[in-house]
Structure 1
Amino acid sequence: MTTLPICSLIIVNYNGLRHTKDCLKSLQKLAYPESQLDLIVIDNCSQDDSVNALRELFPKVRIFVNSANNFAKALNLGISEAKGQYIGFLNNDATLDSHWLEILVKRLETHKQVGGNSGKLLFKDGRINSAGIQQLPNFYWQDVGFGEKDAGQYDIEREVEGLCWAAVLFRRECLEDVGPIDEDFVMYFEDVEFAKRCQKRGWKMLYTPAAIAHHEYRGSSKGSKLTEYFCNRNRFLYLAKHEPLQLVKAIHTSDFFTNKQYDLLFESLFVAIKKLLDYQPPEIVATVLPQLSEKLAVIYSRMKVDRILPRLQVVRGDRKMSIAIYDHGLHFIGGGQKYVATIASLLQNEFDITFIANKPIAVSDLESWYGLNLSGCKLKIIPLAFYDKRGMQCIDSSIIAEDMQNPFDEIARESKNYDIFINANQLEKVKPLSPISVFFCHFPNTFRNRHFAVDDYTFIIANSQFTVKWLEKRWNLQPTFMLYPPVEMATAKVPKEKIILAVGQFEAGGTKKQIELIEAFRSLLADYPDQLQGWRLILAGSSIPKNPYLKTVENLLKQDSRAIKLKVNCSLDEVKLLYAKASIFWHGCGLGEVNPQRFEHFGMATVEAMQNSCAPIAFCGGGQPEIVEHGRSGFLFNTVEELCRYSHQLIGNPGLLAELQAGAQQRSQNFRLAPFEHKVKSFFEIIHQEYATIRLPNPGEIAQMLDRP
C-alpha cells in the first residue's frame, strides 16, 4: 500500500480554548494515519491560558506562540514550521468529517495543477456556509451558497475563484511558489488576495463537495463589526495590489464612506497607497495618485492629503525624516541657541536637519561659537519684512498687537515642508503646519493673544522646573517633559587666579545685570581694599552692533576701570580660558526684578563655570536654585549686600573657597551631555518609530473601539 503523504494542519487560536479543543478532537477522528498528521496550533497572544491547557490536553500537537494578534502572520509562522507535503488551514471553530482530509489529498495527488482544495463547508444547523468564494460588483466578495439550505445544488466538483480558509488544504509547492500570505491584511480578505496571486501564477482552486467540514460562523472572531472593518479596509489593499485603476472608484462604494467613518477610511487608504507604491509600476502610480489626491481633497483638508506621500517616503525608507529648527535669535550667541544646536548635532546622522533663521548666519558660525560639529545640517534664511523695515536686530514678538497681521505666518508656511518642526526659542506666534511639532520653552515670555499658537504643538519641552511652573501659571500648559540643557565646558586645568568672572550677553535690556555687578565689585574694593588686592572682575559676553546698553557699561568703566575688564564677543577658546583661570563666578540675572521673564530661566553659564571649579554666587531666582546648592556647591543671594558678603567670605577664606569649588565641580556633573543625549535620542527615536512605521490594527483593540458607542 502506498504511504499517504504527510499533511500539516494549522489552527490559529486566540482566546478560543473551547473551540480549539473541539477542533483538535475532530482531527483525532480523521480517517488518516496519525503518523502522517502534523498538527500545529499557532496562538495569537491569547490571555485565557489557552497555550498551557492545550499543551496538557494535546501533547502531540506542536504549539507556537505568535508575536502579534495577526491571523495572516500566524499562518505564515505555521507554514514555516510545517513538515507536510500538503498544508491545511483550519479555523479553530471548524470541525472536520472523518474523511475530509483523505478526500482532498486524493484530489490533489491526481490534479497537479490544483494549488488549493476545499470541500463543502456547513453551519452547525446544516445550512451552507461556503462552496467556494466569488466576486461581486465593486470588488466585494462572498461565499458561494452562503446561508442556503443544502439541497444538493452544490454537489458538483468545480474550479472556483477562491476558497474559504475556514477549512482548506494547499499543496506546499503552491504556497512556496505564490509566496507568504500578506500580513498587512491581518485577517479577512487575505484568502481573496492569495487566490488572486494563485491565479496569476497559474494555480487552480478546486471545490470538492464530498469533503465536508462544519463551521461555527464567527465563533473565533466576535461580532460582525470586526469582520466588516477588516473586509472594508482590506478591500482597498487588494485593489492597490491587483486592480489599482479601480482604487479611486472604490472610495464611494466603501462602507467607511457610506457610514461617514472618515478616520477609518483615511487610515485604510494610507496603507493602500503604500501598497500601490510597493507593487505598481511608475506609470500606474502616476495615473492613480493624482486622481486619488483630488478625490481625497474633497473629503479631507488639502494639508492632510498632502502629508500622505511625504510620510510614505519615510515609511518606505526612501528618505530620512526631515526636521526644521527655527530660532528667531539664532544670529546671537546664547545658551538657548547652544541648547538647540546641541540637539541638532545629536540627531543629524538620523534626520535631515535644516536650521531656519531670520537674520544672516552660517552653520560654520554655530560650529565656531559652540564647539559643535554640525556638518550634516543645512541652514535657510527667511527674512521677516516687518522687522527688517524697522532695522530691528532683535525679533521681538511682543510688539505684534492682536489687530496686526502676524509676520510669523511666513515661518508657519515654511514649517509644512518638514516632517518635524521645532520652535526652538519659544516664539509663541508661529503656528506649526508640519505633521509633528515640538515647542521648546525656556520661558513663556508673553501672554495669550489672538496669534497665540502654542496649543497647536504636538509636544512642549521645558528647560527647567522654573519654566514648568510658569508654563502652567501663564499659559495653563503642561510640558511633555523637562529637559535640562547640556553643558560640556570642562577645560584643561590651570592655576586659579584672583578673578571673579561673569559671563552673559550684553542684552539691550540689561537683564544680565553687568552694571550692578560692576557696582558690587567697586563696593568690595572700597570696603576691603587689602583683601581685594590683586582681584579682578571680568565681564564676558556677546553683543549686537551699536548696543546702547554696552555703551552705558563702557561709559561707566571710563570713569573708573580699576581691576575691571570687558571681554566682548570673544572666541570660545578665550571663554574657556577665562573659566579655567577664574576662582569665583557671579551671576546676577533677576536681581531687583519682579517680572519672572527677566530671571535666568536655567543658567548654562553657571554650570559651565562650575564644571571648571569656579565657586558660583548666583541670584536666588529663576532656574539657578535648581543648579546651585546653597552652602555646598556655591551661594545664592537676594541682594547686592549678600553678593558682596558671600564674595568676601570666599576671598577671605581660601579653605571655604576650595571646598565650594570642589562641590561646584561635583554638582555640575548632573548637567552634562550624557543624560541629555540619552533623553533626546530616545524621544526622537520614539517619534521616528511612530511616524515611519505603519502599525497594523490589532483585532482585539479594533473590536473594543468599534463596540464603543
Structure 2
Amino acid sequence: MKEIDLTVIIVGWKVKDSLKNCLVSIFQETSKINLEVIVVDNASCDETVEMVAEDFPKVALISNLHNRGFARAVNQGLKQARGRYVLLLNPDTIIVDQALDRMAAFMDSRPEAGIAGCRLLNGDKSLQPSVRKFPSFWGQLAMMFKLHHLIKLNSYLMTGFNYQKEGEVDQVMGAFFMINRKVMETIGLFDEQYHLWFEEVDYCFRAKKHGFKVIYTPQAQIIHLGGQSFAQTYRIKSQWNFSKSRLRYIKKNQSFWLFLIILILMPISLLLSFLFSLISPKNV
C-alpha cells in the first residue's frame, strides 16, 4: 500500500451543494500525491450524507447523529487520518491550479513548517485576508465593545502583510489549515472545549510554543466563498459561542486577571452584539 501524502478533513453542517463542489474540485485538481479524504458530517438534515456516500464512494464518511461542534468533529477525522500531512478544509472552498499538489510539495521543502496556509481568494478572485496575529487583550476588548467598526485593528489584522511573499505568521485562517503530522504527534489533538471558533488559533499557539513555525505561502491558492455553515446559525447564538471560545482562549493562554476582566465584561459585550444585530445584522 502506498504511503498517503495528504489527508483532507472536511467538517460540514448543512452544506450539501457547497461540499459537492468542493469534493469535485479536490479530485479534479489533484494528481501528483496520494490522497485521502475524510468528511465529518455534524448531523445535517439536507441529504449531505447520502450525497457523499453515493457520489464519492472513495471518501471516508463519518456521520454524527448530533452536532458535536467543530473541534470534536475535527478530532474524529484526525484520529483516522493516515497522511504525512493533514489539511483541514472548509466545505465552501474550491481547489484550483493543483493547490493540494503544490502545498504538499511546499511542506516537503519546508520541514520546519508545522502549520501552513495558502493564498485565499474570494468568489470574484479578489484577495481574502487570511493571516492574523494572536489575539491580544486590548484587541479583543476593542472587539467586545464593537470598536473595530470605528477603528482599524491594524496590528491584530496584519493589514500591511504582503500576500505576494512567503512569511512566518502567528496564525493562518482555518479555511485552509495544513498540519505536519509531527505537530499532531507532539501536541496532540484539538481542544474540544472549543465548540466553534478559536480552535485553530489555539492550535497555532500550542504549535509555536513547541518550536514549530506557522507559515503563509503564495505558492498555492484556492477560492473561499465564505462561512456558509456560520450563515445558518442565529447571530446571537453565534456571538455567544464566539464569546465562550474567546473566554476559553484567554483563560488558557493569558493571565487569570485578563480572563477575569473579559468574563466580567462579557454580558455587556453580548448586549452590544444584540443591539448591533438589530441595527446592522450583517456587521455584528
- Both structures adopt the same fold (TM-score exceeding 0.5): yes
Distance 1:231 1:129 in 2: 21
Which aligned pairs between 1:116-135 and structure 2 lie closer than 5 A? Answer: 116-135=115-134
Which residue among 43, 65, 68 is the counterpart of 2:66?
Answer: 68
User: How many residue pairs end up in the alignment?
Assistant: 254
Which residue among 167, 188, 207 is the counterpart of 1:158?
Answer: 167
Distance 2:106 2:265 in 1: 39
In the TM superposition, residue 11 of structure 1 has moved relative to its aligned partner by 0.7
Which aligned pairs between 1:325-336 and structure 2 lie closer than 5 A? Answer: none
Distance 1:9 1:84 in 2: 9
In the TM superposition, residue 95 of structure 1 has moved relative to its aligned partner by 1.3
> Could you say if the C-alpha distance between residues 78 and 136 of structure 1 is closer, same or farther in structure 2, counting changes exceeding 3 Å?
closer
3-state SS of 1:250 partner = helix
Matched, 1:248 2:248: no
In the TM superposition, residue 130 of structure 1 has moved relative to its aligned partner by 2.9
| Alignment partner, residue 244 of structure 2 | 233
CA contact under 8 A between 1:131 and 1:154: conserved in structure 2? no
Give 1:248's aligned amino acid. L
Identity of counterpart residues, as a percentage?
25
In the TM superposition, residue 82 of structure 1 has moved relative to its aligned partner by 1.0
In the TM superposition, residue 5 of structure 1 has moved relative to its aligned partner by 5.3
Which aligned pairs between 1:498-647 and structure 2 lie closer than 5 A? Answer: none
Distance 2:47 2:227 in 1: 21
Distance 1:136 1:170 in 2: 21
For 1:85-141, what per-residue CA distance to the aligned partner results, in whole angstroms no more than 9, with x for missing partners? Answer: 111001111112232112222222122221111111121123333332223542539
Which residue among 174, 180, 183 is the counterpart of 1:174?
Answer: 183
In the TM superposition, residue 53 of structure 1 has moved relative to its aligned partner by 1.6
| Alignment partner, residue 106 of structure 2 | 107
Matched, 1:86 2:98: no
| Alignment partner, residue 388 of structure 1 | none
For 1:490-541, what per-residue CA distance to the aligned partner results, in whole angstroms no more than 9, with x for missing partners? Answer: xxxxxxxxxxxxxxxxxxxxxxxxxxxxxxxxxxxxxxxxxxxxxxxxxxxx
Which aligned pairs between 1:283-302 and structure 2 lie closer than 5 A? Answer: none
Distance 1:114 1:100 in 2: 17
TM-score by length of 2: 0.81
| Alignment partner, residue 27 of structure 1 | 26
> Could you say if the C-alpha distance between residues 114 and 153 of structure 1 is closer, same or farther in structure 2, counting changes exceeding 3 Å?
closer
Distance 2:88 2:46 in 1: 22
Give 1:46's aligned amino acid. S
Matched, 1:47 2:51: no
CA contact under 8 A between 1:121 and 1:213: conserved in structure 2? yes
3-state SS of 1:184 partner = coil
> Could you say if the C-alpha distance between residues 81 and 50 of structure 1 is closer, same or farther in structure 2, counting changes exceeding 3 Å?
same
Distance 2:157 2:196 in 1: 16
3-state SS of 2:214 partner = strand
CA contact under 8 A between 1:26 and 1:98: conserved in structure 2? no
Distance 1:27 1:204 in 2: 26
> Could you say if the C-alpha distance between residues 144 and 119 of structure 1 is closer, same or farther in structure 2, counting changes exceeding 3 Å?
farther
| Alignment partner, residue 206 of structure 2 | 197
Give 1:133's aligned amino acid. R
> Could you say if the C-alpha distance between residues 175 and 250 of structure 1 is closer, same or farther in structure 2, counting changes exceeding 3 Å?
same
CA contact under 8 A between 2:116 and 2:172: conserved in structure 1? yes
Which aligned pairs between 1:294-693 and structure 2 lie closer than 5 A? Answer: none
Give 1:230's aligned amino acid. N
Distance 2:265 2:128 in 1: 25
> Could you say if the C-alpha distance between residues 68 and 184 of structure 1 is closer, same or farther in structure 2, counting changes exceeding 3 Å?
farther
